[in-house]
Structure 1
C-alpha cells in the first residue's frame, strides 16, 4: 500500500503570521509542524495530523487552493491522499 502524502505541497514559504508563528503560505504548516509531520509514521498518525492541518487552515482562512494541490501532488508522487482530504470534497 502506498504511503499517505505529507500535507506539504512543495512551496515552503513561511511568511504568513498566525497563532503559532510564521506559517507556510501554501499549506499553513509552521517549520515545527513540518518536522512533526515527518515523524508521523503510522497511517492513523498521518491521517490525524492532516486533519489537524485542515482545521488550522479553516481557522486561518485563505487555504482553499490546498486540497486540489495536495491531491495532485499525491498523485504525482504515486502516494495516497489522506482519507480525510478525499472525503472533504
Structure 2
C-alpha cells in the first residue's frame, strides 16, 4: 500500500483565522505533518483534520481534491475521508 499523502491540496492561503482555505491546516500543523514518520500517525492526523474541517465548515471541496490525490498516488484514503466522500 502507498504512503498516506499529505492533506495539503496546494492552495496554501492562510486566510481563515490562520487556517488554510484549501485544507484547513495551520502552518504549525503543516510542519507537524511533515515531521510524522509512522504511517499510523499520518493516518490519525488526516482523521483529526477531517474532524477539524467539519467543525470549521467551508471545507467540503477538500474531500474530493484529496480523494483525487490519493487515487493519483495509488494510496488508500483513511476511513474518515471515505466516509466524508460518501456523505457529500
Q: TM-score range by the shorter chain?
A: 0.7 to 0.9
Structure 1 residue 44 corresponds to structure 2 residue 3: no
Please, what TM-score do these two structures have when normalized by structure 2? 0.85
Correspondence for 2:13: 13
Cα deviation for residue 72 of structure 1 reads 0.6
Please, what TM-score do these two structures have when normalized by structure 1? 0.84
**Unaligned ranges ≥5, structure 1:** none
RMSD, aligned α-carbons? 1.4
The structure with the greater share of residues assigned to helix is: 2
Structure 1 residue 84 corresponds to structure 2 residue 57: no
**Unaligned ranges ≥5, structure 2:** none
Q: Contact conserved, 2:2 with 2:73, CA < 8 A, in 1?
A: no
Alpha-carbon distance between aligned partners in 1 of 2:2 and 2:74, rounded to the nearest angstrom: 7
Q: List structure 1 runs of 4+ shifted beyond 3 angstroms.
A: 77-80
Q: What secondary structure sits across from 2:60 in the alignment?
A: coil
